[in-house]
Structure 1
Amino acid sequence: MTFEAFETSDGRPVELLTFINGALTFNYTNANTDVIVGATTYTPLEYTRTAPSLSKDSDDGNVKITIPHTNPVALLYREILQSNITSVTIQRFHDNDPAEQVQVFWKGEIGSVATADSRTTILAIPLSQGQDEIPRFTYQSLCNYFLFDSGTCRIVRDDFRFVATITSIDSTGRFITINGLRTRAGVLDAGVSGALSSAELDEYWLNGYCLTGDGELRRVVKNPAGISSPLDPDTIEIPYPFVSASASDVITVFSGCKRDTDICVRKYDNIINYGGWPTVPEVNPFTTELPKGSRSSDSNFTRFS
Structure 2
Amino acid sequence: MSWNQFEYSTNNGKPLTLYEFVHNEQKYYRYTNADRDVEFNNVIWFSEAISNTGLSIGSGNNLEITLPSNNDVVRLFRGVPPTKPVVIRMYQLHESSNDFKVIWIGKIQEVKRESIEKAKLITASVASSFERNGLRLTYGRSCPYALYDHNCRIRQENYKTSNIEIMALDGANITVNLSGFNSGYFSGGYMEFYIDGIQELRGLKVHENNTIGILGGTQGLSKGMRINLYPGCDKTIRTCNEKFNNHLNYGGQPHIPGVSPFTIVKLF
Aligned to 2:193: 212
Q: What letter corresponds to residue 155 of structure 2 in structure 1?
A: V
With normalisation by structure 2, the TM-score equals 0.69
Aligned to 2:223: 247
SS for the counterpart of 1:167 is strand
Residues 91 and 102 in structure 1, CA contact (< 8 A), matched pair in contact too? no
Distance 1:250 1:233, change over 3 A: closer
Q: What letter corresponds to residue 44 of structure 1 in structure 2?
A: S
SS for the counterpart of 1:220 is strand
1:207-227, CA deviations, whole angstroms, 9 ceiling, x for partnerless residues?
3222236554231342375xx
Cα drift, residue 16 of structure 1: 0.4
* Larger proportion of strand: 2
Aligned to 2:89: 89
Q: Is the radius of gyration larger for structure 1 or structure 2?
A: 1
* Larger proportion of helix: 1
Aligned to 1:147: 147
Whether 1:63 aligns to 2:63 is yes
**Deviation larger for 116-125 or 152-161:** 116-125
SS for the counterpart of 2:137 is coil
Instruction: Give the CA RMSD over aligned residues.
Output: 4.2
**Equivalent of 1:235 in 201, 212, 231:** 212
**Equivalent of 1:271 in 224, 237, 247:** 247
Distance 1:280 1:53, change over 3 A: farther
Uncovered stretches (5+) of structure 1, i.e. residues with no partner: 187-200, 226-231, 293-303
Distance 1:156 1:179, change over 3 A: same
Distance 1:90 1:47, change over 3 A: same
Q: What letter corresponds to residue 16 of structure 2 in structure 1?
A: V
Q: What letter corresponds to residue 18 of structure 1 in structure 2?
A: E
With normalisation by structure 1, the TM-score equals 0.62
* Count of aligned pairs between the two proteins: 252
Residues 69 and 75 in structure 1, CA contact (< 8 A), matched pair in contact too? no
Distance 1:274 1:80 in 2: 27
Uncovered stretches (5+) of structure 2, i.e. residues with no partner: none
SS for the counterpart of 1:223 is strand
Task: State the identity as a percent.
Answer: 22
Aligned to 1:156: 155
1:211-244, CA deviations, whole angstroms, 9 ceiling, x for partnerless residues?
236554231342375xxxxxx752332425454x
Aligned to 1:18: 20
Cα drift, residue 130 of structure 1: 3.6
Residues 34 and 43 in structure 1, CA contact (< 8 A), matched pair in contact too? yes
Whether 1:51 aligns to 2:16 is no
Q: What letter corresponds to residue 65 of structure 2 in structure 1?
A: I
